[in-house]
Structure 1
Amino acid sequence: MRQPDIEIYLRDDHLDDLFNWLGREVGQLNLHAPTGLTQRGSLKTSHTTPVMVVRKAAGKWASIWFDSDQTPWETDVDCARAVHAGIGHEVRCSVGGWTESDGEADADRWLKVNSEGEAEFVWAQKP
């Protein structure tokens, strides 16, 4: 089932690899100058998708949010797999489409996609 938006996490120091890959393999990526740790823009494929990048969203990890249900990927996991295959760095995403109404029990369940494969893990964020 297609998710209403896509969000993945990538280490801040690999963002340039992601941006280059997106522009080369997925579509035209246009990013505006950062405002603090946040950078906004769009990814143009057959549809223009708003993109927001938040550096250090989780420690050394950046959040990359594609705000559309018209992305090249149906789910966060599909995107994480494609990005890892394209740039070779670990990508993290939620296990499934989590919302606040789902409760806190599954909020820390994540999937990491890396050279060792895919593994679910608990990513406990410290306040």
Structure 2
Amino acid sequence: MQDLEIYIRDLAEGTVSQWLTGHLDSLELDDSQVTSVIKGHALCAGTRLRISLYPGAFGKRFTCLVMEGESLPWHTDLECARSAWRSMDTEIRCSPGDWKEGEPVAEEKWWRLDHRGENLVVWN
């Protein structure tokens, strides 16, 4: 199982489903109001993937998007973040590497994609 994880600043209603519609089949995700955890699913290359939105991440202004499945539309968090930024035009952040849940964080920097470009920054 693979996963992608990005953080979306000041998420507007409906923007995640609008963005993912162009990349996934049979998308079922109601992000019309992201006030609590939202779960959905879709198909990618014929296989089912899970989609989760977690509002209130990192100081409440970010929503965490996690996609999990055997086949995903992007290979890395950064590729996913780039696509999201082009579609949503709001700040997107993601981990710079292949960190996995439970592992220590070796580097405190994150990719930040916004109107200033792509930069490695400390999250604060």
Q: TM-score, normalised by structure 1?
A: 0.80
Q: CA RMSD in A?
A: 2.4
Q: Deviations over 1:23-58 (max 9, x none)?
A: 2x1123212688x72110112232221011101122
**Is residue 115 of structure 2 the alignment partner of residue 118 of structure 1?**
no
Moved over 4 A (4+): none
Distance in 1 of aligned mates of 2:113 and 2:61? 17
Distance in 1 of aligned mates of 2:11 and 2:3? 24
Correspondence for 1:16: 14
- Structure 1 residue 90: Cα displacement: 1.6
Identical counterparts, % of pairs: 26
Bigger helix fraction: 1
- Change in 2 beyond 3 A, CA 1:48/1:12: farther
Q: What is the number of equivalent residue pairs in this alignment?
A: 119
Question: 1:36-115 counterparts in 2 under 5 A?
Answer: 37-46=36-45, 47-58=47-58, 59-99=60-100, 100-101=102-103, 103-106=104-107, 108-115=108-115
Unmatched tracts of structure 1, length 5 or more: none
Unmatched tracts of structure 2, length 5 or more: none
